[in-house]
Structures are given as structure tokens and as C-alpha cells.
Amino acid sequence: MTDTDIIKTAQANLRVLEQANSPWIDEYSLRVASAPLRLLLVDEILVRAWKASRIRGPIQMEAYCFESLPGPDAVGFCGGGDILPGIPMSIGWGNVRLRVKKLNICDFLKEPCICAKGLRITRHELVQYIANTKGVHTTIRSCAQKNRKKKNSPL
């Protein structure tokens, strides 16, 4: 891929995500949006496009992150941003403290975004899991296999 191809690919995927940016988005549109999100973040097309465009400096993300996760009973979720201005899509229980951090894109993806029962899931892991199991890699073959299993199931 040439630098121009990478930049245009990133732009096209960002347009798809822009169309999906709504608090009223349905499950199926989210599945479709998981493909460009994975391509841009997990497969690093956004970073490659940034470098190809010759823009200087790191990509900076501002997001809610866990400041503290005390103990295995802590439960928290750090969303991507505010759907309503000033009302964050992030919450924590059990003395979980959140704060806004400014991070480069690599650190943003490494930050845990879900915590429950001692398990911490990073943004990278979450995007990849959703894209692989609910979106990008949900193939006709895997759907057919699931349907066959249902037909053979006693339930």
C-alpha cells in the first residue's frame, strides 16, 4: 500500500465510524462499526496514516481511565467519551476512582476499560474481541455451524 492508499483507507473507515456515532445506534450497526474500529486501532491503520501524512507528534487521546482499582470486588467501565456533554460514559463501584488522562494512542489501547472480579480488559482486547466474535469475522460458515448445532440440540 502506498502512503496515499493508507491515508484514504483511514479516512474511509473514519467516515463509517462517524456515521455510527449515535446514542441510538442498534446492535447490527455496532457490529458493522467494529470492522473499521479494529482496522484503525488494533491493526494500526490510524497510526500508519498519521505517519504517512507527515503530521508531527503523537496521536493524543483524552479519555476516562481508572485511577485506582482497589481489590477484586472493584467493578468499573471506562467508556469512550460523553454521549451527553458533561455526562461521562464511565462508572465505577467499590471505591473505584476514575480520572481523565491524556494518552498517546498506544497507551490508550493498553489501558484497562473494563474491570470486574479482578479481571481487567484493555481497550485493545475489547475492540479485537468484539470485531472477531460479533462483527468482522462472523462468517456465513460460522453462522451455519451454529445453526447446525441448534438443530441437533435437544433444547
Q: How far apart are CA 144 and CA 88, in angstroms?
A: 40
**What pLDDT score was predicted for residue 152?**
53
Partnered with residue 64 across adjacent β-strands are 100
Residue 16, SS3 per DSSP: helix
Tens-digit pLDDT string for the chain (155 aa) = 899 999 999 999 999 888 887 777 788 888 888 889 899 999 999 999 999 999 888 888 888 888 877 777 778 888 765 555 666 677 777 778 888 889 999 999 999 888 888 788 999 998 888 888 876 555 545 555 655 555 554 44
